[in-house]
Each structure stands twice: as C-alpha cells, then as structure tokens.
Amino acid sequence: MDKKYHQRIVKDKVFLIETLSVDADFILQHVHQASLITQREYMNLKDISERQNKVINLLDKLIGKGEERCRNFIDLLRKDCILESFPKLTDHAIFDSPVQISQYKIARIPRGICVIINNVNFTTMKERSGSDEDQKYLAKVFRWLGFEVVVHRNKTAAEMKKLLTDLGTTVDGDCFVCCVLSHGEKEGVCGSDGGVVSVDEIREPFTGIYCRSLAGKPKLFFIQACRGEKKQLRVKVQADAPEDEESEMEVDGDDFDITIPADTDFLIARSTTDGHLSYRKPEEGSWFIQSLCRNLEKHCPLGTDIQTILLSVSNEVSSEGINCKQMPVHEVAMRKKLILQPVNH
C-alpha cells in the first residue's frame, strides 16, 4: 500500500511538534473528537505534563495506526478551527498534494500474451542447461498474473524474426510480455542455428508503427543472456549476513546494445550490464529469471508496480555469488505505473 500520508507526517514531524505544541491540549481534544485515538489513549496523553512530549506521543500514536489514520489526521489539520489556532499550518507543504502518477489500465482477462522464446539446444554452441527451469517458472507466474502463455523452443534466427513479426500483426490485450532466453553475440541474440537477431528486430514489430493494437499499452521484454565475457568486479561492503556458498554454474555468452525506443510504453529488462557475464545454475535456472519470478510472486499481490519490483530483483541478484557477481539493468520508456495483480486476487 502507498504510504504517502504516513511519510508526509514523518517527514514534517519536527515542524508539527513545534507548531502544535503551542496548544497541545487543543489539538489532542480535536484528535479525540475525530475518533483518531481511543478514550484510553486520550486520557494517557492528556496526563503528560510536557506539551512537546504530549505532541510527540500523539504523532507517534497516529503514525503507528497506519496510512488511513494519517490521512484523516492531515484532513483534520485543514479544518478552519485548527488553522485559526495554528496559523503556521496555513499553506505549509504538509498539505501539498503528492505527484499523481496514473496507472496503465489492466482489466482484461487474459491480460494479453506472454511469449517465451527458450533456446536450449544449438547447432554450434553449448546446450543451455537449466533454461527449462526458467521457462517453467515464467510460464507459471505469468499464467497466475492472467496472461496467455505461448512457448517457442529452439528457434533459428529466421524463425525468431518471423515469429515476432507475425505476432506483432495479431497480438492484442492490455499488456504484452516477451521473454527471450538464449545465447548471444555483440550484435544481438542468437538463434539455435547461431544466426543473430538484433534487439531492434525483437522489439520493432510491437512499436506503434507496426502494432496499432498495442499503441499506448505496456510492452515488457525480459532478456536472459550474457553481454560479454567479463566478470563483474567485487567491492567490499558491510553485510548483514554471510553469503551462501557458490553453486556450480554455467554462463551464456552474448553482448548487445539496447537503446530506449522512440516509441513509448516499453520496458526492457536485461540480466546483466554491458560486456559482462550472466549466470545460470544448471539444476535451478538463471539468477535473473528465478529472482524475477520470485519477486513477482511476492510483490504483485501487494499492488507493487513493475519498476519497483525490478529494483528488488536488481538488489537480490547483485547480492548473489562470492567470486562472481552480476548486476541486472532495465531501460524504461514508460509513461505510467504498471501494476499487475494476480487474477481472482
């Protein structure tokens, strides 16, 4: 839940203590009359002799009662009788309306299509063991979020291009998700034949020029692949707990550049930074995709927006490993918040 009123009181607590302490009994009486505190709480607060301590304890009580009670308290402070007694409140920033960011409308069932391209077997490159675990988890989570999941496996570069081009002409819904799990090179993502598909070729079929049905709607791309062969350098930081032992892992190889598209409503999340390795455990799947799915399961029911969830993913993945490190990145051309609630939630 958004805690904007709670945060506003916390932020301006010093100002409120200074202002309301001028007549602590007056504000306490009105808070009680508005049923923001109980009779017992009112009597206990009233018995406090020091005016400033009385207000401090009152504010702490209100903050502890949650967002709705904090909103009601700020509404109370706007009343004329309160402003007359505490003129310093007039036009103070505590009454400023927070920046309102609209949300994408996600109402249809299914929400849209989640296409997963999972290249595991290649003609000239190593098998991507563990990628099937990523595919299963992605399919499970996005079905739970109300998407129609379509899986394509071991596609050549030409097949990938045709698949995405055809999908751009037929796709519909309130949102579109594309997950690409593959090897890659400097120029882009590899097909099962070793051919390369650029990131522009992946996203372009879904821009407003070619896909009118998704114009103005969120389009999410999650790409699990390395972007080179360099290892992330470690830096020492204070830790709250020791890290787990390193598990055996494999790496994918690719290095490609993604730019924010000219069209709006795109979010492209990548498993690692430019030039660096991305890790995948043969028995468990990749760090990035597994963390993404866990965080979607945890935070989507709470109404957390996708960009905030991705911050949690980045924090989690960057904490993985001992000798090897990884830092996911995401590039955003979104105009609104995207909140995906599970169906029947």
pLDDT tens by residue, 80-114: 889 889 988 887 777 765 556 789 999 999 999 99
User: Per the residue annotation, which of 6, 183, 276, 299 is the catalytic one?
Assistant: 183
Q: Model confidence over 281-302: pLDDT tens digits?
A: 788 888 889 999 999 999 999 8
Judge whether 152 counts as a catalytic residue. Answer: no
The DSSP code sequence of 14-32 is: HHHHHHHGGGHHHHHHHHH
- If phi > 0 it is left, if psi is from -120 to 50 it is alpha, else beta; for residue 336 that is beta
Is the pLDDT score of 246 beyond 60?
no
DSSP-derived pairing of the beta strands 188-190 and 184-185: antiparallel
Q: What angle do CA 243, 247, 249 make, to 5 degrees?
A: 130
User: Per the residue annotation, which of 178, 179, 226, 293 is the catalytic one?
Assistant: 226
Can you give the C-alpha Rg of the chain in angstroms? Answer: 26
How confident is the model over 247-274, as a mean pLDDT?
59
Q: Retrieve residue 195's tokens.
A: 């051919």
Is the pLDDT score of 213 beyond 80?
yes
Say whether pTM exceeds 0.85. Answer: no
Judge whether 190 counts as a catalytic residue. Answer: no
Task: Pick the more confident residue, 241 or 236.
Answer: 236
Q: Model confidence over 30-69: pLDDT tens digits?
A: 999 999 999 999 999 999 999 999 999 999 999 999 988 9
Q: Retrieve residue 240's tokens.
A: 């709250």
Most confident of 121-135, 152-166, 313-327: 152-166
- Domains within the chain, CATH numbers bracketed: 4-95 (1.10.533.10), 112-230+245-333 (3.40.50.1460)
Positive or negative, the CA dihedral 6, 8, 11, 16 is negative
- If phi > 0 it is left, if psi is from -120 to 50 it is alpha, else beta; for residue 149 that is beta
Query: Exposed, middle or buried, 187 (CB in 10 Å: 0-12/13-18/19+)?
Result: middle
157-171, 245-259, 279-293, 294-308: range with lowest mean pLDDT: 245-259
**Continuous segment of H or E residues that includes residue 120:** none
